[in-house]
Amino acid sequence: MNEVEEVKARLDIVDVIGQYVALQKSGRSFKAPCPFHNERTPSFIVTPERQSWHCFGACGTGGDLITFVMKKEAIEFSEALRMLAERAGIKLHGRRESSQEQRRRERLFTANEAAADWYGKLLVDDKAAAPAREYLKQRGIDTGTAREFDLGFSPGAWDALRNHLRRIGFEDQELLRAGLAVQSDSGFHDRFRGRLMFPIRDDKGRTAGFGARTLDERDAGGAKYINTAQSPVFDKSGLLYALHRAAGGIRREGRAVVVEGYMDVIAAHQHAFDNVVASMGTALTERQVRLLRRIASEIVLALDADAAGRDAAIRGHDVVRGALIDSRLTAPVVTWRGLAGYQQTVDVELKVAVLPDGRDPDDVIRAAPEDWRSLIDGAVPVLDFRLDALAAAHDLSTPAGRSRLAHEFLPILAVVTDPVVRAQYLQRLGRLTATGERELSAMLSTATARPGASKLTAPQPEPAAAKGDNREEFLLALLLQYPALREDALGTPEELLWNSENRALLGAWKGIGAEADGEWQIEGVKNAVPVELWPHLERLTLRKMPDFDIKQARQAFADCVQRLVRRGLEAEKQATGALLAEREAEVGASVLAEAASGEEIEGDKELWEVLSLQAQDMRTGLKLHRREVHDGSEAVQTENHG
Ligand SMILES: [Zn+2]
């Protein structure tokens, strides 16, 4: 597996896309309104089995997770790869970030830094910032602490920050990429207006983005907290608020405490609990745990009382939760099961401290700092915590309640392989459920043998995406090995290829100078792509091809393009078909039959949607049919490359 394949194999497309789009499960796929064009009915489909996405609406294209990130972030292949590699925790060895790329990233940090400076100054002496200062005073945050955390104030105007940053040399596109500005129909405007600003730094102390709290309590429509949108330097799943400040305290105590909010962290640090960081309201991710375990031997999650009953530790993430099997391998969100897995696979003790009902860390610390200290000292190991929580949730005086407890706890325990640890919890579970340890042990092996659990020890199956796409590769090998095809092929749309590596190579091939031919052409492509793509490029240039004359090569090329076009239509047909079946089932066959007989449907939005889906499905079917007729008459059997 080369590095690109490894990055793809380590991440799950549903999880990555789920960070940008609210995906909804639909059969074996997920659907959503397409993030790349405007629509109400979803025509954007993500298929975990193939690790691919497809929009069968206006875009009519698809790809893998790298192409998705490229398109969504408007970034180059290499930048998307770097972002995803970091997320997957993979070091790219051949990595040589181009100096241009490096400069662009640095600029984003610098823009954020400049914004933080400016917001900070306004908080100190701007008249309009009075409500922000008042709020901090109410929450007991003094000027010194506010300065230490670089708190700031964003003015209410639509373009105050934009004007300031433009004056000191930043461009609109940079503000957009840094997530500081938003582009709408009426132009660019500031993302943060009239808010208390919390600069968020990465573990190296660079300002990656912001959290922002509203100061207008009557503003019922706006969110209380917002933060920087995902950007090339801001990925919430890999950041912990105040980690940079807390690193010293965490090292000294050997313990990191994770809370949810900015204010909780600030209150803690103000009271000399300087080992506290915040997950910023997202689910705790694997990357965050990785950041902490480098410096801590114990991680304590401070959870509010109702978190005990939730599946995902800290906060749930509905889409990912469904796809979660074992967080160690793929999904970055840490579930209870995942936490139990960490407990024994990594050198870190994971504990849980539950806050008193209805109170957050901020309240506890301010009311009585010593209560916070004993709360954290009294944190219990994840498995104990989960067993207690489940035991409390079921009525153990009934056999049904006891059975449920066993069935819910055993899959978590199944992650633990240490026989001594297992035995200890089986004993406790046995007492709680009045069941013999031998019976529980047998149930445990069944739990371990479930498909989900077995993934733990089984070697990771090679995902379809890593196997490469034979048809696409045949096309590229043709182009690379038959330079005479250049003119025929310059118009080939890159979107025809769904594999991001192939797409990047085609783009590079199209971009090299017209005078390029033969060996020089391959060199040209090599120079234009990141080094991670070199192994792939080499494989294609060495791929054994039939001995075509130029006429046959042309025919093979045209044929291959046709097949790829048809593949797109087939994917579209499949997607509309599946969606249609689902919607038809929702609406009901009798209603549809009535509609077909000409009843009034204007006012019925749902019905109208189903009917237009039907029409689209039929159109795609016709296009596909025409293709088949067309191909049947013209295609020449050249090579078995389908
Ligand atoms: Zn679309």
What does 565-577 look like in DSSP terms, one character per residue?
HHHHHHHHHHHHH
Residue 439's pLDDT band (cuts 50, 70, 90): confident
Answer yes or no: same fold for 3-88 and 235-393.
no
Q: Give the residue, 69 or 600, on which the prediction is more confident.
A: 69
Which pLDDT belongs to residue 457?
31
Assigned CATH for 235-393:
3.40.1360.10
Q: What distance in angstroms lies between residue 469's CA and the mean position of ligand 1's atoms?
A: 23
Determine which of 17-21, 195-199, 337-341 has the lowest per-residue pLDDT on average.
337-341
Q: What single string gives the DSSP state of each residue in 419-473? A: HHHHHHHHHHHHHHHT--HHHHHHHHHHHHHSHHHHTTTSPPPPPGGGG--HHHH
Q: What distance in angstroms lies between residue 314's CA and the mean position of ligand 1's atoms?
A: 33
- Residue position matching structure tokens 């009239």: 194
Average pLDDT score over the chain: 80
Q: What distance in angstroms lies between residue 488's CA and the mean position of ligand 1's atoms?
A: 28
Q: Give the residue, 20 or 626, on which the prediction is more confident.
A: 20
Q: What distance in angstroms lies between residue 638's CA and the mean position of ligand 1's atoms?
A: 34
Q: What distance in angstroms lies between residue 61's CA and the mean position of ligand 1's atoms?
A: 8
Res. 70: pLDDT tops 50: yes
Q: What distance in angstroms lies between residue 292's CA and the mean position of ligand 1's atoms?
A: 39
Q: What distance in angstroms lies between residue 36's CA and the mean position of ligand 1's atoms?
A: 5
Q: What single string gives the DSSP state of each residue in 621-636? A: HHHHHHHHHHHHHH--
- CATH architecture entry for 468-634: Orthogonal Bundle (1.10)
Q: Is beta strand 380-381 parallel, antiparallel or unpaired with respect to 44-47? A: unpaired
Two structure tokens written together for 372: 């916070």
Q: What distance in angstroms lies between residue 424's CA and the mean position of ligand 1's atoms?
A: 53
Res. 454: pLDDT tops 70: no
What does the pLDDT average to over 364-377?
Answer: 94
What does the pLDDT average to over 539-551?
Answer: 87
Q: What distance in angstroms lies between residue 499's CA and the mean position of ligand 1's atoms?
A: 18
- Phi, psi for 151 (deg, rounded to 5): -60, 155
Residue 286's pLDDT band (cuts 50, 70, 90): low
Which pLDDT belongs to residue 47?
87
Q: What distance in angstroms lies between residue 35's CA and the mean position of ligand 1's atoms?
A: 7
Q: What distance in angstroms lies between residue 31's CA and the mean position of ligand 1's atoms?
A: 12
What does the pLDDT average to over 89-94?
Answer: 75
Q: What distance in angstroms lies between residue 195's CA and the mean position of ligand 1's atoms?
A: 34
SS (H, E, C) 133-181: HHHHHHCCCCHHHHHHCCCEEECCCCCHHHHHHHHCCCCHHHHHHCCCE
**CA distances to 104, 209, 247 from 205, in Å:** 18, 11, 11
Q: In this structure, what DSSP letter does residue 434 have?
A: T
- Distance between CA 340 and CA 408 in Å, rounded? 14
What does the pLDDT average to over 196-209?
Answer: 94
Q: What distance in angstroms lies between residue 42's CA and the mean position of ligand 1's atoms?
A: 9
- Phi, psi for 44 (deg, rounded to 5): -110, 120
Determine which of 20-29, 321-330, 388-397 has the lowest per-residue pLDDT on average.
321-330
Which pLDDT belongs to residue 242?
96
Two structure tokens written together for 214: 């509203």
Q: What distance in angstroms lies between residue 283's CA and the mean position of ligand 1's atoms?
A: 28
Q: Which fold has domain 100-225?
A: DNA primase DNAg catalytic core, N-terminal domain (3.90.980)
What does the pLDDT average to over 90-118?
Answer: 82
Which pLDDT belongs to residue 25?
83
- Distance between CA 75 and CA 81 in Å, rounded? 10
Q: What distance in angstroms lies between residue 59's CA and the mean position of ligand 1's atoms?
A: 4
Nearest in space to 236 (alpha carbons), one of 172, 317, 155: 317
Q: What distance in angstroms lies between residue 468's CA and the mean position of ligand 1's atoms?
A: 24
- Distance between CA 526 and CA 523 in Å, rounded? 5
Determine which of 211-215, 306-310, 486-490, 635-639 has the lowest per-residue pLDDT on average.
635-639
Res. 455: pLDDT tops 50: no
Q: What distance in angstroms lies between residue 294's CA and the mean position of ligand 1's atoms?
A: 41
What does the pLDDT average to over 130-143?
Answer: 93
Residue 518's pLDDT band (cuts 50, 70, 90): low
Q: Give me the helix-helix angle, 470-481 and 550-587, nearest 10°.
A: 150
Q: What distance in angstroms lies between residue 67's CA and the mean position of ligand 1's atoms?
A: 14
Instruction: Choose from 287-301, 313-327, 492-506 the range with maximum mean pLDDT.
Output: 492-506
Q: What distance in angstroms lies between residue 54's CA and the mean position of ligand 1's atoms?
A: 8
pTM of the model: 0.57
Residue 437's pLDDT band (cuts 50, 70, 90): confident
Which pLDDT belongs to residue 490?
82
Q: What distance in angstroms lies between residue 43's CA and the mean position of ligand 1's atoms?
A: 7
Res. 324: pLDDT tops 50: no
Which pLDDT belongs to residue 448?
57
Q: Give the residue, 640 or 372, on which the prediction is more confident.
A: 372
Domain 3-88 has CATH 3.90.580.10: yes
Which pLDDT belongs to residue 607?
74
For the chain, what are the domain ranges? Answer: 3-88, 100-225, 235-393, 396-454, 468-634
Q: Provide the β-strand partners of residue 209.
A: 200
